[in-house]
Structure 1
Amino acid sequence: MGTFKIEGGHQLKGKIQPQGAKNEALQILCAVLLTPELVTINNIPDIVDVNKLISLLKKLGVKVEKLAKGSYTFKADNVDLDYLESDQFKIDGRGLRGSIMIVGPLLARFGRGYIPKPGGDKIGRRRLDTHFEGLIKLGAKFGYSKEEQFYGVEAKRLKGTYMLLEEASVTGTANILMAAVLAEGQTTIYNAACEPYLQQLCKMLNRMGAKISGVGSNMLIVDGVDSLGGTEHRMLPDMIEIGSWIGLAAMTKSELTITNVSWNDLGVIPATFRKLGITVERRGDDIHIPAHTDGYEIQSFIDGSILTISDAPWPGFTPDLLSIILVVATQARGSVLIHQKMFESRLFFVDKLIDMGAKIILCDPHRATVIGHDYKSTLKATTMTSPDIRAGVSLLIAALSAKGTSTIQNIEQIDRGYENIDERLRAIGAKIERID
């Protein structure tokens, strides 16, 4: 198990380039299974979760070639369907939540798709119902082995239909969409997720020959086609990483520039950080954060009541950044209520922050009230363990702002979502060391 040793309390300075988007990569990589032709993908992040999925594709028989850093070609012209029923697949598929999205493409192209119950973050229940209910409506026959926790869907040919999704699940929408593009007839997906990464998937599929309209809305209309061809695609920068660096700059009173952020795809993220009193400047396609030497003050609602920041499906605020917002609020002037609606275990990491001296009241599994210190009392160094990707980075940001030397264990969780994070932070002045 790896550990970060962090000497906190230092100001950082410089430029940092966000990696390619993790959540987009997991969708886009699964889409290569839809065609036997060559697909080139650029700006792929070099992180554990993405590398696991690339390895899984290789074991499925997909030909993978690395062209340069972040650039790969994929050719799924000889897929090994027998691997899907092997004991090894039952092990490999469990190691990654995003592996669920191979089911839709496999079902659409080959008539069957299987997956063991996927793993991932320990942040509460993450149901697969939306995925399979959508595939069943397209005509798939569903099977589940409770003993092995193994899911399967089969169909000779999927048929288009109308469906209203119970929840605007991003991965669920992606899975259903990738199945529908090769279905017979027209499919309407209402209450579809419309995140920029889902829009990216739609644009890529359309370049491959799919017929998808309504891109960017919550109603996707898909006219099925007989086959798809190859294409080239480039990932967006990772909005979660961008938000993480905004929070890091504020907490460490640092002047940072985050380059090439694709401003038009950030939605309410800049405005949400501004509600905490953080100056977020747009310079071309960069974000500039000046050093907040005088601190930052949380806004109130118009009637003077305490600010509440909560997560919501796009274009609402992404749940992946609520833990960053919570940490940043610990040194603000004022108070804020953080409401994590989607996952009931994601706020449990606040006990580590309380140990560091933060003033946080955990109201229930979904809500926490933060009373900011206004830098009058800095966080204190401690030893902690990363419970999941986003909480891990939040604790890392807290440690970089704290007085003294902290250690964070189980950093493999952070590596799942952030590329070479220690090297990149050292480049802007952070005192961080990786210990195996």
Structure 2
Amino acid sequence: IRDVFAMRALLESLGVEITEIDDHSWRIHAAQVRPADLDPDLCRKIRASILLAGPMVARSGELHLPPPGGDVIGRRRVDTHLLAIKALGASATYDRSFHFVSKGLIGADILLDEASVTGTENAIMACVTAKGHSIIRNAASEPHIQELCHFLNHLGGKIENIGSNTLHITGVPKLHGGEFSIGPDYLEVVSFIGAAVMTRGEITIRNAGVQYLDMIKLVFGRLGVIWDTINDDIVVPANQPLEIEHDLGGAIPVISVMPWPAFPTDLMSIAITISSQSSGTVLFHDWMYPSRMFFTDKLVSMGAQIVLCDPHRCIVQGPTQLSPEKMESPDIRAGMALVLAALSANGKSVIRNIGQIDRGYEKVDQKLLALGANIQRISE
């Protein structure tokens, strides 16, 4: 995953030693971390560069951080990060780059002004070694945040109420090393569910992390998508009827994104694409990001019946047979949605700028090829 390698380069520039054990295991030794000037180009490549703020201020007391990058899906404010770190006693200023300074973080009762995922992660990493007790209210609770908390506890942290929107953290003097295995990525799991649905195929996904998929299963069920769970495995049956489930009285259903555990914004593009193959009409609403819906013009060029009401809403009428098209991947999630659309189209599609997809998916073309897709990575 390209974003992971970009973060690795940033960490190594701060003195972290990273050794690759195998394709999916790294040894990270951070004994000699030091403040350093970070590469602005690297920081602009990924949104996650902002996540260096919390741990580096806690560890070194100072950090100069160029602005982060990431997907172009509308304004993505970072004020929540600054407010959280300042609440712990640090100073945070901005003049073409962020400058954080602290003489020692002190635990605090922090109310996040929005349930930001990366803002919550930064606050957690800053609080875990802050002196005293901290409370993080209105915290995001996505699976990867829960996993971060479990990881920090494994290293000696004291984080309670994991999975809730109010976290209690008792600061410890320092963390120790440990070995930890990362769980499944629910976004990748659902992407492959979408691949099966769009191609009318059957797929079994093992170790899928089904405990995190309840709301997604409920929302996808309204699009006519079903799957079975066997322990921690998912079985998606072939040739699903795909019929939109109307609201009471026959009203057009509305699918909106909300903070976890509700339906996540990062799956909106895939849900829209699937609905183009479902019988019926559905309204999608993403109030979080004003550019999330703009990829739908590419689905329309393939034959999908989609009306973009405004930057936050679109109406989809299905089903329609999609036609092949040459397209540009605008961001990670929309790029993957276009791959799914291309899999269901009659003929050969070309998707350019696939580096966007590589930022969030590992060897997705090889995985789809192994499932029987006719997909090829080419150089132009």
Q: TM-score range by the shorter chain?
A: over 0.9
Task: Name which of 10, 14, 18 aligns with 1:56.
Answer: 10
CA RMSD of aligned residues (A): 1.2
Output one character per residue of 1:264-290: Cα deviation in whole Å (capped at 9) or x when no partner.
122311222111111211122211111
Code of the residue aligned with 1:264 in structure 2: it is: Q
Question: Which residue in the other structure is 2:66 paired with?
Answer: 116
Q: Aligned with 1:343: secondary structure?
A: coil
| Separation in 2, partners of 1:198, 1:66 | 24
Question: Which residue in the other structure is 1:418 paired with?
Answer: 361
Question: Which residue in the other structure is 1:231 paired with?
Answer: 178
With the length of structure 2 as denominator, give the TM-score of the two structures.
0.97
Question: Which residue in the other structure is 2:34 paired with?
Answer: 80
Structure with greater contact order relative to length (CA < 8 Å, sep ≥ 6): 1
Question: Which residue in the other structure is 2:208 paired with?
Answer: 261
Code of the residue aligned with 1:365 in structure 2: it is: P
Task: Name which of 321, 346, 352 aligns with 2:292.
Answer: 346
Q: Aligned with 2:377: secondary structure?
A: strand
**Contact (CA 8 Å) 2:127, 2:134: kept in 1 or not?**
yes
| Separation in 2, partners of 1:181, 1:114 | 21
Question: Which residue in the other structure is 2:305 paired with?
Answer: 359
Pairing 1:329–2:275 present: yes
Question: Which residue in the other structure is 2:87 paired with?
Answer: 137
1:113 shift after superposition: 2.2
Question: Which residue in the other structure is 2:351 paired with?
Answer: 408
Equivalent runs, 1:81-230 vs 2, <5 Å: 81=35, 83=36, 85=37, 89-145=39-95, 149-230=96-177
| Separation in 2, partners of 1:278, 1:190 | 35
**Contact (CA 8 Å) 2:161, 2:168: kept in 1 or not?**
yes
Q: Would you tell me which structure has more strand in proportion to its own residues? A: 1
Which 4+ stretches in 1 moved above 3 angstroms? none
Output one character per residue of 1:134-157: Cα deviation in whole Å (capped at 9) or x when no partner.
101111111211xxx210110101
| Separation in 1, partners of 2:249, 2:115 | 32
Question: Which residue in the other structure is 2:219 paired with?
Answer: 272
- Please, which moves more after superposition, 307-316 or 276-285? 276-285
Q: Aligned with 2:376: secondary structure?
A: strand
Structure 1 runs not aligned, ≥5 long: 1-46
Output one character per residue of 1:375-425: Cα deviation in whole Å (capped at 9) or x when no partner.
xx4111111100000000111111110011110110110111111111111
Structure 2 runs not aligned, ≥5 long: none
Question: Which residue in the other structure is 1:21 paired with?
Answer: none
| Separation in 2, partners of 1:90, 1:276 | 42
| Separation in 1, partners of 2:216, 2:124 | 26
Code of the residue aligned with 1:220 in structure 2: it is: L
**Contact (CA 8 Å) 2:217, 2:226: kept in 1 or not?**
no
| Separation in 2, partners of 1:125, 1:51 | 25
Task: Name which of 344, 365, 380 aligns with 2:323.
Answer: 380
Q: Percent identity?
A: 46
Question: Which residue in the other structure is 1:242 paired with?
Answer: 189
Aligned length: 379
1:304 shift after superposition: 2.1
Code of the residue aligned with 1:133 in structure 2: it is: L
**Contact (CA 8 Å) 1:104, 1:135: kept in 2 or not?**
yes
**Contact (CA 8 Å) 2:34, 2:60: kept in 1 or not?**
no
Q: Aligned with 1:231: secondary structure?
A: coil
| Separation in 2, partners of 1:270, 1:50 | 28
Question: Which residue in the other structure is 1:432 paired with?
Answer: 375
Code of the residue aligned with 1:254 in structure 2: it is: G
| Separation in 2, partners of 1:315, 1:303 | 27
**Contact (CA 8 Å) 2:74, 2:291: kept in 1 or not?**
yes
Task: Name which of 289, 298, 311 aligns with 2:257.
Answer: 311
Q: Aligned with 1:431: secondary structure?
A: coil
Question: Which residue in the other structure is 1:15 paired with?
Answer: none
Q: Aligned with 2:167: secondary structure?
A: strand
Code of the residue aligned with 1:169 in structure 2: it is: S
| Separation in 2, partners of 1:366, 1:91 | 30
1:223 shift after superposition: 1.4
Pairing 1:398–2:341 present: yes
| Separation in 2, partners of 1:108, 1:80 | 12
Code of the residue aligned with 2:282 in structure 1: it is: V
| Separation in 1, partners of 2:165, 2:147 | 14
Code of the residue aligned with 1:132 in structure 2: it is: L
**Contact (CA 8 Å) 1:214, 1:221: kept in 2 or not?**
yes
Q: Aligned with 1:232: secondary structure?
A: coil
1:69 shift after superposition: 1.9
